[in-house]
Amino acid sequence: MSRTNDVAAKPLFSKMENFKHFLISNSVPIIFLGLSAFAIPLSGFSAEYLVQEMITRLARNSFLVLSLLVPILAGMGLNFGMVLGAMAGQIGLIFVTDWAVVGIPGLILASIISMPIAAFLGYICGNVLNRAKGREMVTSYILGFFINGIYQFVVLYMMGWILPITSPTLVLSRGYGIRNAINLTGMRHALDNAISLSIDLGSETTRFAISIPVSTFLLIAGFCVFIVWFRRTKLGQDMRAIGQDMAAADSAGIAVERTRVIAIVISTVLAAFGQIIFLQNIGTMNTYNSHDQTGMFSIAALLIGGATVSKASIGNVFVGVALFHLMFVVSPMAGKELIGQAQLGEYFRVFVSYGIIAVALVLHAWKRQQERERSRRGLRGEA
């Protein structure tokens, strides 16, 4: 609790104006901080539980959310097509589970299998989006549904029939198609436990023991370094130029369409890895549902972290994941205490996930429209 107050109080040391600017530019995270501050005492969860839960969820989700950054850099908005990558990751996991490769080698093998699939899907996605410039988000969103249909076709009908999957724990009793739930026993926490740290901060009276999956965080840190480095490369700079003005970038000799495809391919491949990390932490995979909400939850988390459709930083990712999942954990219990119905809190978090995306999209589009109108007024001159 005291820690959350520190974050809000910090800018008070600077000038009033800076403070105002800080409030406005970080209004979304601040509102959620306030909501959490209100809901945490209501929920009655212990600090130990919440801290552990946040660490687990940061490790579980950060990689997925980070995969959204590259397309935003290229001005393509929120990549709702990241579910394509998630599906590729799941296909990798299905094969690896069938071959009974366990532990870290299993995860690496799953990543290797999913990589070309994700790259291929990303290539398709990028090309489709090039045909729908200006409405990338809705197109990538529908594309996610469309590829989901094809994913279901492949997993439910082709696997065990054309694609060799033999393990009876995976294949449905009818002889083909994958079961609804897959137990990833061999890979469960394989990455998390590779290097993990247990800290006991408790005194004799209070228990406060948390474990930190260091290896997962190392991987996430590596990813962050990659993003920072990537932004400085020629390709990263090209993407930034395209994101700012596609026509100008085009006349400057940047291969706009190709670069946009590359941005989506990178994002999709990383989302595949992200989904593998996510599922090794969860330990079971719902073959037909696990990827469904990946896109929405990741995007909502990023936006709650203060990102916009056109601007997102690594900081937004971590703040967003922490705040979004804090609300996720706390709200059902808070709803139960407040109204007597846990279901209410359940619906509240669904509402917030959808609502935050709606508000962020509206604010972004509104701002853009105002800028457009202002530039048009400028052309008209003095009347």
Partner 1 sequence: MKDALSKFIENAGWPRIIIGLFLLFLFAAAPFVGVRVDTSLSDTLVRVGMNGILVLAMVPMVQSGCGLNFGLPLGIIAGLLGATTSIEFKAQGLAGFGFAMLIAVPIAAVLGFIYAQILNRVKGEEMMIATYVGFSSVALMCMAWLLLPFKSPVMIWGYGGSGLRTTISTEGFWRHVLSDFASVRIGEFFYLPTGMFIFFAIMIFLVWAFFRTKTGTAITAVGSNPEFARASGINVDRMRTVSVMLSTVLGAIGILVYQQSFGFIQLYMGPLFMAFPAVAAILLGGASVNKATMVNVVVGTFLFQGILTMTPSVVNSLIQTDMSEVIRIIVSNGMILYALTRKTQVKR
DSSP-assigned letter for residue 74? T
Give the shortest CB-324-to-partner 1 separation in angstroms: 15
Taking a C-beta distance cutoff of 8 angstroms, is the pair 173, 185 a contact? no
Choose among 355, 315, 302, 346: nearest CA to 328: 346
Should residue 202 be labelled a site residue for partner 1 when binding is judged by CB under 8 A? no
Give the shortest CB-131-to-partner 1 separation in angstroms: 4
Cβ proximity to partner 1, 8 vs 132, nearer residue:
132
Should residue 366 be labelled a site residue for partner 1 when binding is judged by CB under 8 A? yes
CA distance linking residue 1 with residue 373, whole number of Å: 45
Among 14, 169, 284, 341, interactor with partner 1 by CB under 8 A: 341
Among 41, 116, 315, 355, interactor with partner 1 by CB under 8 A: 355
Give the shortest CB-357-to-partner 1 separation in angstroms: 5
Supply φ then ψ for residue 178, to 5 degrees.
-95, 145
Rg of the chain (C-alpha set) = 22
Among 42, 54, 119, 344, interactor with partner 1 by CB under 8 A: 344
175: left (phi over 0), alpha (psi -120 to 50) or beta: left
Give the shortest CB-153-to-partner 1 separation in angstroms: 5
Choices 51-59, 62-70, 105-113, 246-254 (CB under 8 A): range interacting with partner 1: 246-254
Q: What is the DSSP string of 277-330?
A: HHHHHH-EEETTTTTTTHHHHHHHHHHHTT--SS---HHHHHHHHHHHHHHHHH
160: left (phi over 0), alpha (psi -120 to 50) or beta: left
Cβ proximity to partner 1, 78 vs 314, nearer residue:
78
Between residue 116 and residue 175, which ones bind partner 1 under the rule CB under 8 A? 128, 131-135, 137-139, 141-143, 145-146, 148-150, 152-153, 156-157
Size of the site for partner 1 (CB under 8 A): 45
Taking a C-beta distance cutoff of 8 angstroms, is the pair 95, 107 a contact? no
Give the shortest CB-329-to-partner 1 separation in angstroms: 18
Should residue 347 be labelled a site residue for partner 1 when binding is judged by CB under 8 A? yes
Give the shortest CB-80-to-partner 1 separation in angstroms: 8
Cβ proximity to partner 1, 76 vs 187, nearer residue:
76
Should residue 1 be labelled a site residue for partner 1 when binding is judged by CB under 8 A? no
Among 284, 365, 371, 377, interactor with partner 1 by CB under 8 A: 365
CA distances from 381 to 77, 126, 367, 375, 377 (A): 32, 40, 22, 10, 7
CA distance linking residue 217 with residue 223, whole number of Å: 10
Site track for partner 1 across 10-49, x = CB under 8 A = ----------------------------------------
Taking a C-beta distance cutoff of 8 angstroms, is the pair 26, 305 a contact? no
Answer positive or negative: Cα dihedral of 353, 91, 226, 127. Answer: negative
CA distances from 150 to 115, 123, 145, 173, 354 (A): 18, 16, 9, 22, 26
Give the shortest CB-298-to-partner 1 separation in angstroms: 15
Give the shortest CB-362-to-partner 1 separation in angstroms: 6
Which positions lie near partner 1, rule CB under 8 A?
A: 128, 131-135, 137-139, 141-143, 145-146, 148-150, 152-153, 156-157, 246-247, 250, 256, 339, 341, 343-344, 347-348, 350-351, 353-355, 357-358, 361-362, 364-366, 368-369
